[in-house]
Every structure is written in C-alpha cells, then in structure tokens.
C-alpha cells in the first residue's frame, strides 16, 4: 500500500515537471505549489513510516498503549510541521531570489494545518487501527493456543489415585474370586482402552462418554460397594451430542474426592439430561476441611471455553451440589 502511494506521488511529480517543461499554460506559482505538495506528501509518507518502525521497536502497542499513542501522535505532528516549513523554505530559496515573508510562512503553515495535518491524522488513525486489529488477532490467537495447550494436557486427566486404588482392588480380588477379578480386569482394561481411544479427540459423542462411564462406574461399585449409588437418566435422542472426553468422569471423581462415602453416609450421584444440557448432582457430605471444588471443575471450564461460549453452571444448596454442562453440536462442512 505504501509503495503504491509513493509511486503515485512520484508519478504526479513527474507529470507536473512535464507540464512545466512542455510549456503548458499553467502559472509558475501553481507548478511550484503542486511540486511542493507532492514533495511534502512523499516526505510525510516516508518519514512517518520510519517513525512508526522505530516506535514499534521502542514502544510496542501491546506493552505501551497510551504512551505510544500520545508520543507517536505528538512526534508525527511535529515532524509534519518541520517538513512543511523546510520544504517551503527550500523551494523558496532555490527557485526565487526573494526570502519568504512572515505572511508567506503563516500561509504555508495554514495550508499545512488544513491539508497535511489532517492527512497525517488519517494516516495515523489507519496505522493505529491496523495495529489494534493485529494485536486483537494476536491476542485471540495466543488465547486459543494457550487453551489448546491446556486442553492437550488436561483432556487425558485421570486421578493417579484411581489407578493405584484399582490395582490394589484387583490384587485382593485375585486371591478371593478369580471370576470376579477377571471381570474387574476386563472393565479396568475397557476404561484405559477408552482413554487411549479418546486421547487425541477434542470432542466425543455423549454415547461414547456414557459407555466409558459405565465401565468406570463398575470399578467404583466394586470399590465402594453399596456406599455409592448411581442414577443415570439420559434422553436417548441426545446421544450424538458432543462433550469433551472425561467430562462426566471428572464430575463423578470430584464428588467422590470431596465427600464422605460410607455405609452410614452413602454418596448418591445422579446423571440426568434436560434439553441440550447434562447435569451431575451429588448429595453433600463434605469431608472435614474439604470444599466442593477442585482442579476437575477448572479443567472442565477451560475445555468448554475453547469450544463454546456456553459455560458450565454450578449450583450448591445445603443438601446437594449440582454441575450442569452444555451438550455441544459440531457443524459439518
């Protein structure tokens, strides 16, 4: 864009010179004025471009927004006034024998204020807008890349205590009941097979998530026996809706982690759907010193932020803790 403007300005200068050389009927003062305007425009374009480059190094927009704005604007106006006056004095002294008068200098600066300063302000505004848009795009890109990085590290999340506890359970079952230990091992393998299957997926159908949860719940029931109760009621028409992998597992894990699970105080977890949302609810019986939050909920919130403007909703009462997540749709091209 700048190169085109420079070429256009030089072309006008050559055209004005041609008019003069071939004796077209134009007053000499008019030709001088045209030449002066062209020279000033070229110098303003080139000079402000250099000023912008230096400011990009000294005071980048992202770090020094306000300081850059006022400093750049002030220096640009000062430079423009200097160019206007120096160019006029040069033309006056080189092409005439009379020194400029006070009135002529005043008229020249008036022309500069009327023509060139607004032109610079337009240039500066376009330059500022361009960098602002670029900064917004870079910020958004950085945000998406950060969320993507977090997503890659979070979506394979599974509490390491889960692995340790289930290996201990499997070890004890082998000595007690080989058939049950084999069934437990099959479900254990199914859980990790699902983890490997979805580790490269950003979203999976709700149907696949629930199949994984079925195996996961089997392991929990063996571990906690009748001390944990699950009620799952899902609208069959929502099975092709999408969720980030392990979302329901994290919500169940969060409930177990922060609440007492015992024969006297069993933990009840309900998984239900309503419209385009899914809700996981557990009764509240917090462990001493615990609070009903954790990295799992932060994990889910960040993952949804990457895919949708719809957010996870948390509702807490004295008796229950409820988390509602949106069921997503993926647009097909």
The domains of the chain, with CATH numbers, are: 2-154 (no CATH), 160-326 (3.30.565.10)
Task: Return phi, psi of residue 270, to 5°.
Answer: -110, 130
pLDDT over threshold 50, residue 332: no
pLDDT of 25 higher than 60 = no
Residue 244's pLDDT is what?
A: 87
Q: Give the pLDDT of residue 333.
A: 39
pLDDT (mean) for 105-124:
74
pLDDT at 229: 95
Of the candidates 268, 286, 285, 279, the one whose C-alpha atom is nearest the C-alpha of residue 315 is 279
Mean pLDDT in residue range 321-331? 87
- pTM for the complete prediction? 0.54
| Upper half-sphere CA count for residue 318 (Cβ side, 13 Å) | 0
Specify the pLDDT at position 78: 86
Higher pLDDT: 216 or 123? It is 216
Residue 207: is its pLDDT beyond 60?
Answer: yes
Which one is predicted more confidently, 153 or 262? 262
- In 3D space, the residue among 301, 264, 261, 298 whose CA is nearest the CA of residue 282 turns out to be 261
| Residue 191 pLDDT grade (very low, low, confident, very high; cuts 50, 70, 90) | confident
Q: What is the mean pLDDT of the chain?
A: 78
Round to whole Å and give the CA distance between 284 and 304. Answer: 25
What average pLDDT score do residues 94-106 get?
78
Percentages (nearest 5) of helix, strand, coil residues in the chain: 65, 10, 20
- pLDDT at site 321: 95
Give the lowest-confidence range in 91-95, 226-230, 255-259, 315-319.
91-95
The residue whose two tokens read 């979070």 is 154
Average pLDDT for residues 139-151, to the nearest whole number? 60
- Report the chain's terminal Cα–Cα distance, integer Å: 35
How far apart (Å, rounded) are the C-alpha atoms in residues 218 and 216?
A: 5
């Amino acid at each position: 864009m700048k190169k085109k403007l420079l070429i256009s300005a030089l072309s006008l200068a050559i055209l004005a010179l041609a008019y003069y050389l071939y004796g077209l009927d134009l007053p000499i003062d008019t030709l001088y004025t045209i030449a002066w305007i062209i020279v000033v425009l070229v110098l303003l374009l080139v000079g402000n471009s250099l000023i912008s480059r230096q400011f990009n190094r000294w005071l980048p927009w992202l770090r020094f927004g306000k300081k850059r704005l006022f400093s750049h604007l002030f220096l640009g106006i000062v430079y423009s006034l200097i160019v206007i006056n120096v160019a006029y004095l040069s033309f006056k002294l080189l092409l005439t024998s009379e020194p400029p008068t006070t009135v002529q200098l005043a008229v020249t600066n008036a022309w500069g204020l009327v023509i060139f300063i607004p032109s610079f302000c337009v240039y500066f505004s376009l330059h500022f807008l361009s960098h602002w848009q670029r900064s917004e795009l870079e910020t958004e890109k950085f945000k998406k890349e950060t969320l993507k990085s977090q997503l890659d590290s979070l979506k394979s999340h599974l509490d390491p205590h889960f692995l340790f506890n289930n290996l201990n359970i499997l070890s004890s079952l082998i000595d007690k009941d080989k058939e049950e230990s084999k069934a437990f091992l099959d479900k254990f393998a199914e859980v990790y097979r699902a983890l490997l299957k979805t580790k490269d997926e950003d979203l999976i159908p709700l149907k696949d998530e629930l199949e994984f949860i079925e195996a996961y719940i089997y392991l929990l029931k063996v571990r906690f026996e009748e001390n944990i109760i699950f009620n799952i009621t899902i609208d069959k028409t929502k099975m092709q809706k999408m969720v980030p992998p392990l979302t329901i597992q994290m919500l169940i894990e969060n409930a177990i982690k922060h609440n007492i699970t015992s024969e006297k105080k069993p933990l009840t977890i309900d998984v239900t759907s309503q419209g385009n949302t899914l809700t996981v609810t557990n009764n509240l019986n917090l462990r001493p010193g615990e609070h009903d939050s954790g990295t799992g909920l932060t994990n889910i919130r960040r993952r949804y932020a990457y895919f949708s403007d719809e957010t996870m909703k948390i509702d807490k009462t004295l008796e229950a803790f409820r988390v509602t997540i949106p069921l997503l749709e993926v647009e097909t091209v």
